[in-house]
Amino acid sequence: MSAPAAERESLGVFSPRRARLTARTLRTDRWWLSPLLTVVGLAAFVVYATVRSFVRSAYYVADYHYLTPFYSPCLSESCVPGSSHFGTPFPELPMWIPLAFLSLPFLLGFRLTCYYYRKAYYRSVWLSPPACAVAEPHTKYTGETRLPLIIQNSHRYFFYVAVIISVINTYDAIVAFHGKGGGFGFGLGNVILVVNVLLLWIYTVSCHSCRHVTGGRLKHFSKHPVRYWIWTRVSRLNTRHMQFAWITLGTLMLTDFYIMLVASDTISDLRFVG
């Protein structure tokens, strides 16, 4: 809710200590381009992922055991035969519940509370502020100290679940080395699944919470050489966390799209073995 006009005069960029400018910004470059591209990219992923998660078609290739990450783990009797790598402990689900209902909320929570994505959508969606030296429309700043933004502090817990889901995705990628007539097989779908899962791991371990888990709260690195070694590796990846955040959005969509094309018989998988 915006503050009353009189109060607004003394808040945020209108406070007495700030320079009195009538223009919202004096920047003359295209400062709006980056937030615009960000919001378009995020919206494209959200629309694609939402549609694909609910359609319940072309998500599993029975011949090669390819399962798209958007349906993993598939744990209900609504899943097509073979796609439930961990059994079907849940009964048939109504159409409004995605088949990966157990993992999707956590993956969503992991991405939403990610430090990089926060920066991205705070700037692009809430314009808070949209760019350096561009006044934001809000007059009050409460940070992440109250609902709903206080939930951002739960990121570390989403990180632990994301690790478990990455293990599940790894298992899915391994069981996909399956030939048409049984036994070992290997095709382009395997390359895509393995690259996707490797990048998901890199995104996950480059997380700021992972940095803290591996090297946080230590008084003396010299007394914990193994944790220190891991922390330095994680820190190196962490510098590219933003890139991995975007790359994995792309590889997730690409992996799902390829499996959708093969599962719907639109194209055939390029097979190297089996």
Q: Which residues lie near ligand FES (CB under 6 A)? A: 114-116, 155, 159, 207-209, 241
Provide, rounded to whole angstroms, the least separation between the CB of residue 167 and ligand FES: 16
The CA radius of gyration of the chain, in Å to the nearest whole number, is 23
End-to-end Cα spacing for the chain: 62
Question: In this complex, which beta carbon is closest to ligand FES, that of residue 175 or of residue 202?
Answer: 202
Residue closer to ligand FES (CB basis): 90 or 246? 246
Report the largest interatomic distance among the alpha carbons of the chain, rounded to a whole angstrom.
76
For ligand FES, which is the closer residue by CB, 58 or 207?
A: 207
Report the alpha-carbon distance of residue 90 to residue 56 in Å, rounded: 16
Candidates 213, 242, 217, 209; CA nearest to 230 is 213
The least distance separating ligand FES from the CB of residue 163, rounded to whole angstroms, comes to 11
Minimum CB distance to ligand FES, residue 241 (Å):
6
Shortest CB 170 distance to ligand FES, Å:
18
Smaller CB distance to ligand FES: residue 116 or 177? 116
> Please, which residue, 123 or 208, has the CB nearer to ligand FES?
208
**Crossing angle between the packed helical segments 208-215 and 225-238, to the nearest 10 degrees:** 170
Read off the DSSP letter of residue 76.
B
Least distance in Å: CB of 180 to ligand FES?
Answer: 37
Contact 256, 66 (CB under 8 A): no
* Three-state secondary-structure class, residue 271: strand
- How many other C-beta atoms can be found within 10 angstroms of the C-beta atom of residue 258? 21
The answer to whether the beta carbons of residues 209 and 153 sit under 8 Å apart is no
CB-nearer residue toward ligand FES: 252 or 259: 252
Q: According to the 3-state scheme, what is the secondary structure of 56-100?
A: CCCCEECCCCEECHHHCCCCECCCCCCCCCCCCCECCCCCCCCCC
Place of tokens 């382009």: 188
Min dist CB 219 to ligand FES, Å, is 24
CB contact at 8 A, 85 and 67: yes
Token readout for 202 is: 């890199």
Question: 62 φ, ψ to 5°?
Answer: -65, -35
CB of 199 to ligand FES, least distance (A): 13
* Nearer CB in complex with ligand FES: 197/207: 207
